[in-house]
Amino acid sequence: MSATIARSRGLAAEPGVLVLAALTVCALFVFVVYPAVRVLATPGWDEALGVLARPRTWQAARHSLVITVLSTTSSTLIGFAFAFVATRRDMPFRDLFRVVGLMPLFAPPFMVAFAYILMFGRQGLLTNHLLGLDVNIFGWQGLWLSQTIAFFPLSTAIIQGVLEGVHPNAEQAALTLGATESAALRTILLPLAWPGVIGAMLVVAITVLADFGNAVVIAGNYPLLATEAWFMMDGLGDLQGAAVIVSILLVPTIGLFIASRALLNKREFTASGGRGAAVDQIATPPFIKWSAVAICSATSLLVLTLYAAILIAGLTRQWGSDWSFTFRHWADTASHMDAVGTSLLIGALAGLVTAGVGQIAAFVHSRPIPLRGLVGLLAVLPGALPGVFIGVGFLLAFNAPPLELADSIWLIVLALGFWHLPQAYQSTSAALGQIHRSIEDSARDLGASELRLIVDVYAPLLSRNLLAAFLQCFIRSVSNISVIVFLISPGQVLVAYVILQMISGSDWSGAAALTTVLLAITFCCVGLLQAALHWIGPATRGSQA
């Protein structure tokens, strides 16, 4: 903020920057606004009313609402426990919970539901094979469990940020004023954490509403808005109907998105904190301590079950009937290497789009030029759009002239690249604010043009950030389901799509083996990222003011 103000005091922008800004605005209009407008404008009144009159539409809307309330509540509760454990120094197994609490983030979007079918379903390893039970996990219960485990890390991250902002001295002050430890936590820490808890709930609710991967795998005969849109298109060939459904879905997600941004921007309560010495933290009362540890332990078991299920299933001859060990399915993944290759290519290109556009948009936003506010708004807008909305939008917008991209991988690349833009833009924007203005001034002083700054100053200083944005988009794009199911053309094969087909065709071991490949790629990327960040690290840190 202050960095932006400082910069806006500078000279008027150079023409080159204005051209760049104009190009950025154009790109955002074409690839963010235009598809959204097409979704909202395409269905005629008759079509829209027809879809609204279907009882199934209302059933799906009701289900989406119910599951959102359930999954958001449980995810936030568990997320709070993990955040609490991570921020108290006297918690046992703290480092273990920290790692396990991140693991669901690396699971492809359909994996949690798939793994729980493998473990707890009718032919589940635990429920049926070991315990001899006949459990039906398909439906809202299974979806609730899957979404809870898949999305609690999102709330952990947000709540942890807020808890870390609470200065330990505040708790100590409460003690010296006569509060017991549990009263101090109740009257000081909890009220201060509230904005984070609410913020986490809003973010998780958006994610749950938009969740396609888990729903399509485990919801069974439980229609939801996100899956209903696909059913309309894939089952009924009704693209307009799908557009109506995703438009309905947009109403709550936009509302939640606006609310979350308003709330998380209002930081006055936590801003006064700053970090104190961890040693000054008061002792956590035993009851609270062990309750949190119990919640985290139970959740951790479920998280580890996820990965165990995929690994075991990929090495099992025939899930449910022949439990003998085999490498056959792993070997068979070789026949899908073209799908893996295409997915990797798409992921890499989408990552480049996200990182590149994200950096340019953040740079343009930091300049004192007209339309900078618009750029900022459009760059975060995709965060409010569910994947199925993006999918339908790109299909409507770019399937026919004037901008025809159908049958080329660019349709999917641009959809995924622009959809993941908000994270890249926001982290780059924040990092940009950290770079001291004097660095820019001295570069200008030495003769660099304003545009030249991007290449000479910002790109190198933001390399950490750009790499992280690239890889985040890459990982999520390679395993994406919700967008690609709408955009994949008959000739194309993408690994996530292939897995989905194998799951629905009951080739569970094959699907698990291919998911293992996807996980291996993901963890390789994370490892590479860590190594690369370690390598770039010191140079960037020194630059920050």
CB of 172 to other proteins, least distance (A): 5
**Among residues 193 and 431, whose Cβ is nearest to other proteins?**
193
Residue 107, φ and ψ in degrees, nearest 5: -80, 135
**Among residues 183 and 337, whose Cβ is nearest to other proteins?**
183
CB of 162 to other proteins, least distance (A): 12
CB of 116 to other proteins, least distance (A): 39
**Among residues 183 and 539, whose Cβ is nearest to other proteins?**
183
Give Cα 409 distance to the centre of its chain: 22
Task: Give the pairing of strands 322-325 and 316-318.
Answer: antiparallel
Is the distance from CB of 387 to CB of 373 less than 8 angstroms? no
User: Residue 469 is inside which H or E element, if any?
Assistant: helix 463-478
CA distance 207 to 151: 8
DSSP label at residue 282: P
**Among residues 220 and 273, whose Cβ is nearest to other proteins?**
273
CB of 8 to other proteins, least distance (A): 25
Contact set with other proteins (CB under 8 A): 167, 169-170, 172-180, 183, 187-188, 191-192, 268-274, 276, 279-280, 282
Helix segments in 132-276, DSSP class H: 140-165, 168-176, 181-184, 190-210, 213-218, 225-230, 239-265, 268-271
**Among residues 170 and 311, whose Cβ is nearest to other proteins?**
170
Q: Which of 429, 60, 474, 110 is nearest to 241 (CA)?
A: 60
**Among residues 188 and 248, whose Cβ is nearest to other proteins?**
188
| Other CB atoms within 10 Å distance of the CB of residue 423 | 18
Q: Tokens 């308003």 label which residue?
A: 262
Residue 322, strand partner residues: 318
CA atoms within 13 A on the CB side of 123: 13
**Among residues 180 and 530, whose Cβ is nearest to other proteins?**
180
CB of 158 to other proteins, least distance (A): 18
Q: Is the peptide bond before 422 cis (omega within 30 degrees of 0)?
A: no
CB of 263 to other proteins, least distance (A): 14
**Among residues 195 and 376, whose Cβ is nearest to other proteins?**
195
DSSP 27-80: HHIIIIIHHHHHHHHSS-HHHHHHHHH-HHHHHHHHHHHHHHHHHHHHHHHHHH
CA distance 455 to 169: 44
CB of 182 to other proteins, least distance (A): 11
Q: Which of 404, 416, 399 is nearest to 483 (CA)?
A: 416
Is the distance from CB of 16 to CB of 449 less than 8 angstroms? yes
CB of 184 to other proteins, least distance (A): 8
CB of 93 to other proteins, least distance (A): 22
**Among residues 136 and 187, whose Cβ is nearest to other proteins?**
187
Q: How many residues does the chain have?
A: 545
CB of 266 to other proteins, least distance (A): 11
CB of 285 to other proteins, least distance (A): 11
CB of 197 to other proteins, least distance (A): 13
**CB neighbour list of residue 301: distance below 8 Å, 6 or more residues apart:** none
Is the distance from CB of 350 to CB of 473 less than 8 angstroms? yes
Helix segments in 315-453, DSSP class H: 328-332, 337-365, 372-380, 387-398, 409-419, 421-434, 437-445, 450-453
CB of 264 to other proteins, least distance (A): 16
CA distance 511 to 273: 48
**Among residues 194 and 523, whose Cβ is nearest to other proteins?**
194
**Among residues 171 and 440, whose Cβ is nearest to other proteins?**
171
**Among residues 11 and 271, whose Cβ is nearest to other proteins?**
271
**Among residues 239 and 288, whose Cβ is nearest to other proteins?**
288
| Other CB atoms within 10 Å distance of the CB of residue 490 | 5
